[in-house]
Amino acid sequence: MAELLYDVDDGVATMTLNRPDRRNAITYTLLTELQNVLTSAAGDEAVRVVVLTGAGGNFSVGRDQSGDRSSRVVRGDSQQEDRTRLLDVSRVIPTLVQHPKPTVAVIRGGCAGAGLSLALACDLRYAGADAMFNTAFLGAGMSGDMGMAWLLTRAAGTSKARELMLLSERIKADRAASFGMIHEAFAEESLEARTTEIVQRLSVSAPLAVRGAKLNLDSAMSRPLSEFLMDEADRLITCAYSEDVEEARSAFLEKRVPHFTGR
């Protein structure tokens, strides 16, 4: 059985962590496959938005520390080999954070450890009301990996990130939404419909504008204002001379829905 399912339909690339019998616990193979499909989606003009979710009733409970030792990232064979493997699979985090297409995590059930890192690396995060979150690393005697502290600090703020990392408590979806770990918690029966609506809105947005907006948001975290303004201006001018801007203007005047092509 494939550990990751990949499907593209009507502009939406859905990537499903597919180990439901293990609550989608993460393996070296799964992270390698995820890196590959994310790279593929980045270069696929048919893809407008990426959705990351889990099969069955969970998103992912984190690293799989049981079962086949060869499937683990940290195997205990040597510190150097384990470090090399960890750095290799950790590439998936910047790939998600810097992905040119908007990324949406749809979360059910357990979302913990490295699974939580994957969710936090997505642009938008929505969960069912019954979802549970946990940084989980300290309970396993581990300090954290897959960018957890970096991602959590940016999502929830420095003070809350310290509490979540150091106390490692299980958090319900409504509380997670209150401090930014997720954007919103929906009733379980409406989660699919509400997230589908959000994804569809993203899928019909102007691709060049979306990509520029994502780059602006990333730059805003690290670039001085004077440098940021120059980058921002370059991106806006690129959009201004695109066919999509003309299409937006025509659609407004003709009172119709625009059809953007990314050119």
What is the tens place of the pLDDT at every residue in 54-83?
Answer: 999 999 999 887 767 777 777 778 888 888
pLDDT score recorded for residue 8: 97
Per the CB < 8 A criterion, the answer to whether 148 and 137 are in contact is: yes
**What per-residue confidence (pLDDT) applies to 263?**
83
Determine the pLDDT at residue 67.
63
- Tokens 């954007």 sit at which residue? 183
**Cβ-based neighbours of 213, under 8 Å, separated by 6 or more:** none
Q: Which residues contact 117 (CB under 8 A, 6 or more apart)?
A: 93, 145, 146, 147, 148, 151
Q: Which CATH architecture has domain 4-203?
A: Alpha-Beta Complex (3.90)
- Which H or E run includes 54? strand 49-54
pTM of the entire structure?
A: 0.94
Domain parsing of the chain, residue ranges? 4-203, 207-254
Architecture of domain 207-254: Orthogonal Bundle (1.10)
Q: Which residues of the chain have pLDDT under 50?
A: none
Helix (H) or strand (E) holding 218: helix 207-220
The tokens for 70 are 């060869």
